[in-house]
């Protein structure tokens, strides 16, 4: 087995402080705030990466309450907890003219059992994500009585901060930065109260980038892969929706892990959730979900699938 060398890391600002600072700057820069806005929940919520959509996947909708001719801002805080891990996420997004979305997301992943098994108790993996999305065709609301979906293309530039896992990732041939590109199609059937989204993502990210990008050890596949994502939401009322999400994950680290003598110990599985979203007002939405993130570094967690709960709050203007 090749040596996988942990290294030390520095403490970084909390995601909450980063989100508050970014929100203040964006609100100051926004030339106009939305007064009319969109129908409740039809603009989605904030994903764990910062883009508007579901909790796990971006949609073709543009974030905030801004309609055409307006500029809006949204901010979110999210928390997911499974048997062996914890993930905190925070960020902001700006919606411009219901056409362009710019977003920033920060993730803080508490490795708990895995960090302890690696001799790094208290290890946190922190990632920053800059995103941009452009609506290129269709309008989810105006085309709700036809089969035409709203289409958007997006890009997410991700950077994993230095941590005690740097040596391990380098030994596996994984980088600490990467770029995802995606195409989303969102179809709103307003009369039936159903929203369907499909996203196709080109990515090298391991566990969304929290375990780096790509891998080369043992001849592992280091190229981009196309990963499908699906979201279905049913509007039970004007301010309550329930739904399901599925997000396919690359499995680039499994072969590299086998070459390092770990067998299937770095295998990755797809992510999914069952959620309920509630909007008590047009500016606030709350989301709760049951999540199944599959196996995450099963070598240190007895191969358990990581299931748990997800909570998120978003304010949007």
For residue 20, the model assigns a pLDDT of: 43
Q: What is the pLDDT of residues 89-124, one digit of tens each?
A: 999 999 999 999 999 999 999 999 899 998 999 999
CATH of the domain at 179: 2.40.160.40
Q: Examine residue 273 and state whether it is found in any structural domain, yes or no.
A: yes
Which pLDDT does position 237 carry in this prediction? 93
Residues of the chain with pLDDT under 70: 1-37
Over the range 240-259, which residues count as b (16 or more CB within 10 Å of their CB) and which as e? ebebebbbbbbbbbbbbbbb
Check: CB of residue 314 under 8 Å from CB of residue 86: no
pLDDT, tens digit, 9 for 90 and up, residues 195-231: 999 999 999 999 999 999 999 999 988 999 999 999 9
Number of domains in the chain: 1
Residue 226 · residue 249 · CB < 8 Å: no
Distance separating alpha carbons of residues 275 and 287, to the nearest angstrom = 7
Three-state secondary-structure class, residue 60: coil
pLDDT at position 221 is: 86
Q: Is residue 117 part of a domain?
A: yes
Yes or no: say if 294 and 307 are a contact pair by the CB < 8 Å rule.
no
| Cβ neighbours of 303 (radius 10 Å) | 11
Report if residue 142 sits inside a domain: yes
8 lies in some domain: no
4 within a domain of the structure (yes/no): no
Torsion of CA 94, 207, 271, 254, to 10 degrees: 160
Helices and strands per DSSP (H, E), number in the chain: 4, 14
Predicted local distance difference test score (pLDDT) of residue 40: 85
Where in the sequence is the domain holding 88, given as residue range(s)? 15-316
pLDDT at 256: 95
Per-residue pLDDT at 38:
78
Strand, helix or coil for residue 209: helix
Q: Which long-range contacts (CB under 8 A, 24 or more apart) does 267-271 make?
A: 267/295, 267/298, 268/206, 268/207, 268/294, 268/295, 268/296, 269/293, 269/294, 269/295, 269/305, 270/246, 270/294, 271/56, 271/245, 271/246, 271/247
**Domain presence at residue 230:** yes
Domain-located, residue 169: yes
* pLDDT for residue 37: 58
Residue 10: inside a domain, yes or no?
Answer: no
Return d(Cα 56, Cα 108) in angstroms, integer: 16
Contact 111, 207 (CB under 8 A): no
Q: What confidence tens digit (pLDDT) does each residue in 256-275 have?
A: 999 999 999 999 999 999 99
């Amino acid at each position: 087995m090749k040596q996988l060398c942990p290294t030390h890391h520095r403490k970084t600002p909390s995601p909450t402080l980063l989100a508050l600072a970014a929100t203040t700057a964006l609100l100051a820069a926004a030339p106009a705030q939305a007064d009319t806005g969109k129908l409740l929940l039809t603009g989605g919520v904030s994903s764990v990466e910062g883009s508007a959509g579901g909790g796990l996947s971006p949609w073709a909708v543009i974030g905030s309450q801004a309609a055409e001719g307006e500029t809006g801002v949204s901010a979110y805080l999210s928390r997911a907890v499974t048997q062996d891990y914890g993930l905190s996420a925070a960020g902001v997004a700006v919606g411009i003219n219901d056409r362009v979305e710019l977003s920033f997301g920060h993730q803080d992943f508490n490795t708990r059992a895995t960090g302890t098994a690696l001799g790094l108790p208290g290890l946190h993996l922190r990632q920053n994500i800059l995103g941009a999305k452009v609506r290129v065709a269709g309008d989810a609301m105006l085309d709700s009585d036809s089969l035409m979906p709203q289409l958007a293309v997006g890009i997410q530039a991700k950077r994993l901060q230095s941590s005690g896992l740097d040596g391990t990732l380098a030994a596996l041939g994984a980088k600490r930065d990467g770029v995802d590109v995606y195409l989303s199609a969102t179809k709103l059937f307003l009369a039936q109260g159903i929203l369907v989204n499909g996203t196709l993502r080109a990515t090298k990210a391991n566990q969304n980038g929290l375990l780096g990008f790509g891998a080369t050890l043992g001849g592992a596949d280091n190229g981009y892969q196309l990963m499908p994502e699906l979201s279905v939401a049913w509007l039970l009322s004007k301010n309550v929706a329930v739904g399901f999400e599925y997000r396919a994950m690359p499995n680039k680290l499994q072969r590299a892990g086998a070459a390092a003598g770990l067998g299937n110990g770095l295998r990755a599985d797809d992510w999914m959730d069952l959620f309920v979203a509630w909007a008590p007002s047009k500016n606030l939405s709350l989301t709760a979900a049951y999540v199944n993130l599959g196996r995450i570094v099963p070598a240190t967690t007895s191969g358990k699938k990581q299931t748990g709960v997800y909570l998120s709050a978003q304010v949007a203007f």
